A and B are shown apart, each in its own frame.
Chain A
Amino acid sequence: MKKHPMLKYLKEEGPLGQRMPLIMCPGCGAGQVLNYTLHAVERVMNEDKIGKENFLFISGVGCSARLTSHYLNFDSAWTIHGRTLAIATGSLLANPAFKIIVFTGDGDTGSIGGNHFIHACRRNIDVTIVCINNGVYGMTGGQVAPTTPVGAITTTTPYGNIEEAFDLCKLAETAGASFVARWTTAHPHQVIKSITKGLRKKGTAFIEILSQCPVHSKSSPVAMLRELKENTIQISKKKESGEGKTLIGEFCDLDKPEWNESYQKLIDQFDHEEGKS
C-alpha cells in the first residue's frame, strides 16, 4: 500500500492509540491547507537546510485549530481561542530561532484574537499566520463571523447579516505585517509558494486562504472549490474584469525590522561575559 507523501509529517498513531483520520468534515478546506502547509515546510526544510525541530505549529480554537490537536509529527500546541499570537510571541522570546506557523481561522483572528492580531503585525514578530477563512464559525455550528458577507443567513443571523465583513488582509497590511497574501484552497501552488515565502520572511507573514465549509454552506466540496475559483480574481488580472469578485494575490512584501532583531540590539549593548558565582 503506497501512502500519501505527506503522512511522514503526521502522527498516525501514538503510544496509546490511533490518532487519525483527521476529525475534519468530508471535503473541508482545513485539511487541504494542512497539506499545502506541509509542502511549504518540506520545501524550506530541504532547500534551506533547517532541521525539523526548529518548526513550531500553534493553533487556537475552531476547525482550523484542530489541525494541531494531536496529528503533527512536529512540536505543536492547541491553545486558547484567539490568543495564539500572544503565545507565539512568548515562544519567540524564549527562543528567536523557532520557525512558527500559526493556524487560525477568521473568527480566531478577526474576532476574539483581533487585538493580538493587530499588535503582532505591528510588532512584525517572526511568525507565519495561515488564516483559514471559511466565513463562519464552523466548529460551534455555523454562527456569523466578522468575515461573513452582508445578507448571509447563519444560525445567529436568521434574517440575514446586517454587518459589513472585515478584509483581514487589509487589516494585516495596515497594522504593519511584512508579507500579506490571499489565495483560496483552489489555488494549491500559489498557497504553497506564499507560505514558503512567509516562512523565509523575517517578520509577520499573513496568508489568508479562503476555504470551503461544505457542511454549513450545504453544498458539495467540489462545487464550492469551483465557486472559489470563479468568484476570485488575481490582482494582475483585475483591470480586465473583476466586478464583485474577491481580490487574491500577494498584496505586500516588505523588508522591515523584525521584533527580535531589534530587541537583540538592546541585549547586545550589555556585556554578557559569564561572571563567577
Chain B
Amino acid sequence: MNKLWIDERYCKGCLICVDVCPTKAIKASKEINDWGYILPTEHDMNSCKACGLCELMCPDFAIAIEEVNG
C-alpha cells in the first residue's frame, strides 16, 4: 500500500491534490493546523496507483507518494 507524505512546513492546504486524485485515495483532514491550513491526509491508499498527479500539481512541493510493494 503506497504511503502519503505531506511536508507540514510547506503545505498550504490548497487541496488541489485531493481534487485531482483520480482514485480518491486522499482526502482533506478534519483538523486545522497551527497555520490555519487544512492538510490532505490518507483516505484509501489501497486505490493509490502512484500516478504522480498530486505531486505534479502541487504548487508548494509539499507532497510525495512513497511506493511500497506488497
Interface set of A (CB-CB < 8 Å, partner B): 1-7, 10, 20-22, 24-32, 34-36, 39, 185, 188, 214, 221-222, 225
Contacts and interface: CB of A to CB of B under 8 A. Distances in A.
Given A4-B55, A225-B19, A26 B61 contact: no
Contact of A35 (B7, B10, B58, B66): B58
B16 A221 contact: yes
A34 B59 CA distance: 8
Nearest to A7: B61
A4 B64 contact: yes
B56 interface: yes
Interface residues of B, number: 25
Given A26-B37, A221-B16, A1 B5 contact: yes
Nearest to A36: B56
A193 B58 CA distance: 18
Contact of A27 (B3, B7, B12, B63): B12
Given A1-B7, A4-B55, A24 B60 contact: yes
A27 B64 contact: no
A221 B14 contact: yes
Given A2-B66, A20-B10, 19 more contacts: A4-B61, A5-B55, A5-B64, A20-B61, A21-B10, A22-B61, A26-B37, A27-B12, A27-B16, A30-B59, A31-B60, A35-B57, A39-B56, A214-B14, A221-B16, A222-B14, A222-B15, A222-B16, A222-B19
Q: Which 6 A-B pairs have the closest CB atoms?
A: A31-B59, A27-B14, A26-B12, A4-B61, A2-B64, A21-B10
Contact of A21 (B9, B57, B63): B9
A4 B12 contact: no
A24 B63 CA distance: 16
B45 interface: no
Interface in B32-70: 37, 53, 55-66
A214 B16 CA distance: 12
B60 A3 contact: no
Contacts of B57: 32, 35, 185, 188
Nearest to B64: A2
Nearest to B4: A2
A105 to B, nearest CB: 15
A222 B5 CA distance: 21
Nearest to A224: B16
B39 to A, nearest CB: 11
A70 B16 CA distance: 25
